[in-house]
Amino acid sequence: MNNFIGKVVLITGAGNGIGRATALAFAQQGANVVVADISQADGEETVSVVKQAGGIARFIFCDVTKNEDVKAMVEATLYAYGKLDIAFNNAGIEIEQCKLADGDEAIYDKIMDVNVKGVWRCMKYQIPAMLKQASSSIVNTASIAGLGAAPKMSVYSASKHAVIGLTKSAAVEYGKKGLRVNAVCPGVINTKMYTRAIHIEPQKEQFIKNLHPVGRIGQPEEVAAAVLYLCSDLAGFTTGIALPIDGGSTAI
């Protein structure tokens, strides 16, 4: 997949986990990577990791809940590189651990603002820039929770269903203009979010592994590989899909 040489890739939530792994993977394939994150320390660490591997990257601070930040992120990308070929809208949160009727409205609003409206804001400003290219690609991070139920995570699940809805609608709206829009739906991945959850309830670790027919959780690099495929010429006839990367969880 060496068709990323010279491409400009913008990744939100690139400060760690899946975002960092994807930034590194794109850079290793010759892309110019814009690392966007709400944490300057994490974002700059990702840039350092990319540069140490011989890649090209720069950091841009962005809070996807703020319209002015998202607009400025896209404008800064265009100012630096003159174009935008690929966007991976990966920023998201999970701060919910209760049944639906016990939920808090403030938590509901926060999850929706980041996971749904954040993706909407990003695409709103990315799409006009990307339509200037003959071909371009957006990948949004959803979840297997967006493909079914997620007990004690009902709002998170709803937010990821919404991301898939945004993805499919945009794919249909812009398909004839050379823009492909897809989503990845990870299962449980070995990220800081997973580590925090296991630290709180270590007894759940084996249970979570057993949820995946392959008998383990996923690695960020495995999601990154799927993102690169969806953005490559090999996936030129693929748009509007929500691709599970879940160790077989959704096959059960």
pLDDT tens track for 143-184: 999 999 999 889 999 999 999 999 999 999 999 999 999 999
| Coil, strand or helix at 215 | coil
Report whether 23 contacts 35 (CB < 8 A).
Answer: yes
Q: Average the pLDDT over 223-242 and give the result.
A: 97
Lowest mean pLDDT, pick from 113-117, 118-122, 214-218: 214-218
Residues 26, 186: Cα–Cα separation, whole Å: 19
pLDDT tens track for 55-73: 999 999 999 999 999 999 9
**43 pLDDT more than 60:** yes
Residues 244, 22: Cα–Cα separation, whole Å: 16
Residues 248, 252: Cα–Cα separation, whole Å: 7
Strands (E), 29-79: 32-37, 56-61
Strand partners of residue 57: 33
DSSP assignment of 164-191 equals: HHHHHHHHHHHGGGTEEEEEEEE-SBSS
pLDDT tens track for 119-141: 999 999 999 999 999 999 999 99
Q: Catalogue the active-site residues.
A: 156
Enumerate domains of the chain plus CATH numbers: 2-186+219-244 (3.40.50.720)
